[in-house]
Amino acid sequence: MILELSGIWKVFRLGTEAVEALCGVDLALEEGEFVTVIGSNGAGKSTLLNVIAGTCRPNRGRVRIGGKDVTKWPAHRRARWIGRVFQDPLRGTAAHMTLAENLALALKKGRRGFSLLLTPARKRYLRKLLEPLGMELERRLGERVGHLSGGERQAVTVLMATLARPKLLLLDEHTAALDPANAEKVLEITERLVGEARITTLMVTHRMDQALSLGNRLIMMHKGKIRLDLSAEEKERLSVADLVDLFRRLGVTDDALLLAGNGTNNAGDAYS
């Protein structure tokens, strides 16, 4: 079992209000599963990812990765096993450092020593990694990442997140801020990299068509709970309209969700 969440509760206090972001969530992921997560605003999707990654501590419950109880571990300690890509294409890379340096930093997740970061051998390796992306980035290794476009940066972030062979890849609406052409490209890259290395993936998306077509499992969250958990066969049979119908029957009336195409988080990072 790659990931196991048992009885996760997370309550945020905003002034005098208490927001229950996660209410008793149980989730188990086997190796190789590609799970898409869908839900309305405030459903708890981003909080879920934060709890798994360690940037947010649950009030109750346990997080196990690869069998180890990591509930009390800080984010940088769990980072060894987790890759993460955010919605903001600027977040995953160091803008003032070169493409080569960024990638090289992502190669290793353990202790760093005094050896040179970019040996000629490493540079050759990085060039080979960039070629299949199809964005001609292998020629721009010496450029500052800040000069790349949003789509290019996000593609690089996805590559970096998978480089050190993480146990688990967390994707938080990572194509939502890109134009359709780039979003398509990044999605393609994601699928290929995940497929090649068989990385267990949890992908939050706002688009129901994506949620249905990608991966082999679909989870729907509403108000801090997992309301639907569909296997590959079950979701194959559904169309987007069927999904919408299912939601309505479960009590989800979020227009933003139902209009598959608008997924901007206007509630901020704290809860999704």
Partner 1 sequence: MTLFLPAVEQGLIYGLMALGVYISFRVLAFPDLSVDGTFPLGAAVAATLIIAGWDPFLASLVAAGAGMVAGAFTGILSTKFRIQGLLAGVLTMIMLYSINLRIMGRPNLPLLGRPSALSTAVEALGLPYTWGLVVVAAILVLGIKLILDLFFHTEIGSAMRATGDNPHMVQAFGVNPETMVILGLALANGLVALSGALVAQYSGFADVGMGVGTIVAGLASVIVGEMLLRPRGVFWATVAVLLGSSLYRGAILVALRYGSVLGFTASDLKLLTALVVLGALMAPAIRARLRGEEA
By CB under 8 A, residue 232 contacts partner 1:
no
Stretch that binds partner 1, among 26-34, 113-121, 178-186, 220-228 (CB under 8 A): 113-121
By CB under 8 A, residue 105 contacts partner 1:
yes
By CB under 8 A, residue 66 contacts partner 1:
no
Stretch that binds partner 1, among 65-73, 82-90, 242-250, 260-268 (CB under 8 A): 82-90
- Encoding tokens for residue 21? 């972001």
Residue 227 and residue 24 in contact, taking contact as beta carbons nearer than 8 Å = no
Helix (H) or strand (E) holding 7: strand 3-14
DSSP 185-208: HHHHHHHHHHHHHT-EEEEE-S-H
Please pick, from the candidates 42, 83, 151, 215, the single residue that binds partner 1 as defined by CB under 8 A. Answer: 83
By CB under 8 A, residue 116 contacts partner 1:
yes
Please pick, from the candidates 1, 28, 95, 250, the single residue that binds partner 1 as defined by CB under 8 A. Answer: 95
* Cα(113)–Cα(13) distance, integer angstroms: 41
Please pick, from the candidates 96, 241, 255, 268, the single residue that binds partner 1 as defined by CB under 8 A. Answer: 96
By CB under 8 A, residue 114 contacts partner 1:
yes
* Cα(70)–Cα(123) distance, integer angstroms: 34
Show Cβ contacts of residue 13 under 8 Å, excluding neighbours closer than 6 positions. 19
* Cα(142)–Cα(145) distance, integer angstroms: 9
Please pick, from the candidates 94, 197, 250, 267, the single residue that binds partner 1 as defined by CB under 8 A. Answer: 94
By CB under 8 A, residue 106 contacts partner 1:
yes
In whole angstroms, how close is the CB of 36 to partner 1 at the nearest point?
A: 21
Nearest to 174 by CA among 84, 268, 41: 84
In whole angstroms, how close is the CB of 23 to partner 1 at the nearest point?
A: 27
Touching partner 1, residues 147-206 (CB under 8 A): 160-161, 164
DSSP 140-180: -TTSBGGGS-HHHHHHHHHHHHHHT--SEEEEESTTTTS-H
Please pick, from the candidates 15, 17, 67, 113, the single residue that binds partner 1 as defined by CB under 8 A. Answer: 113
The phi-psi region of residue 33 (left if phi > 0; otherwise alpha if psi is between -120 and 50; otherwise beta) is beta
Touching partner 1, residues 118-147 (CB under 8 A): 118, 144
Stretch that binds partner 1, among 34-42, 112-120, 130-138, 208-216 (CB under 8 A): 112-120
Which residues are registered as beta bridge partners of 183?
A: none
Interface contacts to partner 1, rule CB under 8 A: 53, 75-77, 79-80, 82-84, 91-97, 101-102, 104-106, 108-110, 112-118, 144, 160-161, 164
